[in-house]
C-alpha cells in the first residue's frame, strides 16, 4: 500500500529531478500535499487548486470536503498537491537551488503539462498508480483536463470547471499585463529579489487587474457602485490617491492581501503556465486532442465568467470524446463562482461522482456479460 498521510497535515515528498516540457531540468524537486480520508487503493480523488490556491482544500472548499459532503472523506481519499512553481511547500522560484541560493530568474518556465507531469511523478513516488477522479476549476480545471489527456488509463473520470481548451489571446493579454506590472516594480530585479525587498507593489497591482477578471461586473457593482470609501471624497477639486471610491479601496485591499500570502516569482511562473495552456499543442490541434479523449469527463462553467467565458466550456463539451455531463453555474459572481457558489458546486461534484461510478458499474456489468 502506498505511504500516503491522510491526516490533513502538510507533508513534503522528495520526488527527484524533474524535466520540463520545454527541456529544462529541476533537480531534487519537493512536492507538498495534504490528504484527507482513508486510502483504500482505488478511491483517490485528486483535487487541483487554482492559481494562488493551495493544498488546503479543507479551507478553500470547506463546504465540499468532509464526511458526508460532496468530497466525502468517509468514502474517498482526497489528495491535493501544491503546484510546482508555487510557494506553499512545493519547489518554486523562492526555493533554494542545490547551492542554497533561491532559484529566482533561473527557475524554468512551466506549462500546465509540467504541473500535471510532476504530480504524476509525485504519485509514482508514493506508489500510487490509479486515480479515481481528478477535478478542479480555473488553473485546477486546466490541470484536470491535461490529466485526462496525458494519463487517461490512470483515471476513471475528470471534472473540468471554469477553464478552456487553451489560453485565449485575451487571457494571454491580460495575464501578460499582470506579469508586466510585477516586472515594472523596481524591486523585481528580473526575479532575483529574494535577498532584498520583494516587489509587493507590483504583485498587488497584478492582483488588482486579475481580481477584475475573477469577479463579475454585476457583483462588484452591486456591492460598491460609485460609493466613496468611508471618510474619503473621490469627487474633490483635485484627484488624490487617498480620496478613493469604495471599489478602489476594495481592490487595493485585495492586492495587499495577496502580497501577504503569495510570492511574486510564483505568481509570474504560474501565470506564465496559464499562458502556455494549450491542449492542442503537439496533438494535431484542439479538436483532435479533445476528440481523442477517452476519460469520462464532465464540464462546468459560469454564466458570467469573463475570464473563461461560457462559450469556451461549450466548445470543450462539443468536442470532448467522452463527455458525460455539462453544467452551468448561474451566478453574478463571475469566474470565482466555482469557489463561492457552494450549493451549485456541491451538486455538480455529486453528479459527477455518481456518473463516474455508474460508468464503472456499467463497464463491470458489460465485462461480466461478455465473459459469460
Binding mask 259-298 for a second copy (x = CB under 8 A): ---------xx--x--xx-x--------------------
CB 125 → a second copy: shortest distance, Å? 24
Q: Measured between alpha carbons, how far is 211 from 204 in angstroms, rounded to an integer? A: 10
207 labelled ligand-binding: yes
CB 315 → a second copy: shortest distance, Å? 11
Q: Measured between alpha carbons, how far is 352 from 316 in angstroms, rounded to an integer? A: 16
Contact region with a second copy (CB under 8 A), list: 114-122, 223-231, 320-328, 359-367: 223-231
Q: Measured between alpha carbons, how far is 43 from 73 in angstroms, rounded to an integer? A: 10
Q: Measured between alpha carbons, how far is 360 from 362 in angstroms, rounded to an integer? A: 5
DSSP 144-187: HHHHHHH-GGGBS-EEEES--SB--HHHHHHHHHHHHHHHTSTT
Nearer to a second copy, 83 or 295 (CB): 83
Task: Locate 8 and state its grid cell.
Answer: 490533513
Q: Measured between alpha carbons, how far is 246 from 258 in angstroms, rounded to an integer? A: 19
Q: Of these residues, 305, 315, 317, 331, which one is catalytic?
A: 305
Residue 315 binds to a second copy (criterion: CB under 8 A)? no
Task: Locate 150 and state its grid cell.
Answer: 496525458
- Examine the residue annotation and report whether 138 is marked as an active-site residue of this protein: yes
DSSP 81-150: EPPTTSSSSS--TTSB-TTSSB-GGGSPP--HHHHHHHHHHHHHHHT---BSEEEEETHHHHHHHHHHHH
Nearer to a second copy, 217 or 361 (CB): 217
Cα–Cα nearest to 94, from 256, 231, 269, 232: 269
Contact region with a second copy (CB under 8 A), list: 57-65, 77-85, 203-211, 291-299: 203-211
Site for a second copy in 72-111 (CB under 8 A): 105-106, 108-109, 111
Residue 225 binds to a second copy (criterion: CB under 8 A)? yes
* Residue among 3, 14, 16, 22 that touches a second copy (CB under 8 A): 22
Q: Measured between alpha carbons, how far is 57 from 151 in angstroms, rounded to an integer? A: 23
* Residue among 181, 264, 324, 339 that touches a second copy (CB under 8 A): 181
Q: Which residue has the cell 455538480?
A: 348
The single-letter DSSP state of residue 191 is: G
Residue 199 binds to a second copy (criterion: CB under 8 A)? no
Q: Of these residues, 90, 138, 164, 266, which one is catalytic?
A: 138
Residue 212 binds to a second copy (criterion: CB under 8 A)? yes
CB 211 → a second copy: shortest distance, Å? 8
Residue 116 binds to a second copy (criterion: CB under 8 A)? no
CB 61 within 8 Å of CB 47: yes
Q: Measured between alpha carbons, how far is 19 from 118 in angstroms, rounded to an integer? A: 9
Task: Locate 185 and state its grid cell.
Answer: 516594480
Residue 177 binds to a second copy (criterion: CB under 8 A)? yes
336 labelled ligand-binding: yes
Nearer to a second copy, 106 or 318 (CB): 106
Give the interface with a second copy as residue ranges (CB under 8 A).
20, 22-24, 105-106, 108-109, 111, 166-174, 176-177, 180-181, 183-186, 201-202, 205, 208-209, 211-212, 215, 217, 220-221, 223-226, 234-239, 241, 245-248, 251, 268-269, 272, 275-276, 278, 306, 309
Mark the binding-site residues for substrate, compressed into ranges.
207, 336
Mark the binding-site residues, compressed into ranges.
207, 336
**Residues involved in catalysis:** 138, 305, 335
Amino acid at each position: 500500500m502506498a505511504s500516503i498521510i491522510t491526516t490533513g497535515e502538510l507533508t513534503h515528498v522528495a520526488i527527484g529531478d524533474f524535466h520540463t516540457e520545454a527541456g529544462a531540468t529541476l533537480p531534487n524537486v519537493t512536492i507538498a500535499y495534504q490528504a484527507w480520508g482513508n486510502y483504500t487503493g482505488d478511491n483517490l480523488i485528486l483535487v487541483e487548486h487554482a492559481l494562488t490556491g493551495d493544498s488546503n482544500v479543507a479551507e478553500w472548499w470547506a463546504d465540499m470536503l468532509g464526511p458526508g459532503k460532496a468530497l466525502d472523506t468517509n468514502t474517498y481519499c482526497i489528495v491535493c498537491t501544491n503546484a510546482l512553481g508555487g510557494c506553499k511547500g512545493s519547489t518554486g522560484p523562492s526555493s533554494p537551488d542545490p547551492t542554497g541560493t533561491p532559484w529566482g530568474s533561473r527557475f524554468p518556465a512551466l506549462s500546465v503539462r509540467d504541473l500535471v507531469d510532476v504530480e504524476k511523478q509525485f504519485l509514482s513516488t508514493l506508489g500510487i498508480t490509479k486515480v479515481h477522479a481528478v477535478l478542479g476549476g480555473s488553473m485546477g480545471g486546466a490541470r484536470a483536463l491535461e490529466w485526462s489527456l496525458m494519463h487517461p488509463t490512470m483515471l476513471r473520470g475528470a471534472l473540468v470547471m471554469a477553464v478552456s481548451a487553451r489560453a485565449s489571446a485575451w487571457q494571454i493579454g491580460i495575464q501578460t499585463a499582470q506579469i508586466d506590472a510585477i516586472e515594472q516594480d523596481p524591486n523585481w530585479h528580473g526575479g532575483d529579489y529574494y535577498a532584498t525587498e520583494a516587489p509587493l507593489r507590483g504583485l498587488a497591482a497584478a492582483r488588482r487587474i486579475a481580481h477584475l477578471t475573477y469577479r463579475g461586473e454585476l457583483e462588484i457593482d452591486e456591492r460598491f457602485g460609485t460609493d466613496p470609501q468611508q471618510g474619503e471624497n473621490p469627487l474633490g477639486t483635485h484627484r488624490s490617491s487617498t480620496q478613493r471610491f469604495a471599489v478602489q479601496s476594495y481592490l487595493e485591499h485585495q492586492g495587499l492581501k495577496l502580497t501577504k500570502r503569495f510570492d511574486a516569482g510564483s505568481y509570474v511562473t504560474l501565470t506564465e503556465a496559464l499562458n502556455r495552456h494549450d491542449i492542442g499543442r503537439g496533438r494535431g490541434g484542439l479538436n483532435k486532442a479533445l476528440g481523442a479523449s477517452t476519460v469520462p469527463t464532465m464540464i462546468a462553467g459560469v454564466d458570467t465568467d469573463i475570464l473563461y467565458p461560457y462559450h469556451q466550456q461549450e466548445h470543450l463539451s462539443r468536442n470532448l470524446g467522452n463527455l458525460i455531463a455539462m453544467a452551468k453555474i448561474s451566478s453574478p459572481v463571475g469566474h470565482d463562482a466555482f469557489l463561492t457558489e457552494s450549493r451549485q458546486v456541491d451538486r455538480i461534484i455529486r453528479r459527477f461522482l455518481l456518473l463516474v461510478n455508474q460508468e464503472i458499474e456499467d463497464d463491470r456489468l458489460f465485462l461480466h456479460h461478455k465473459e459469460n
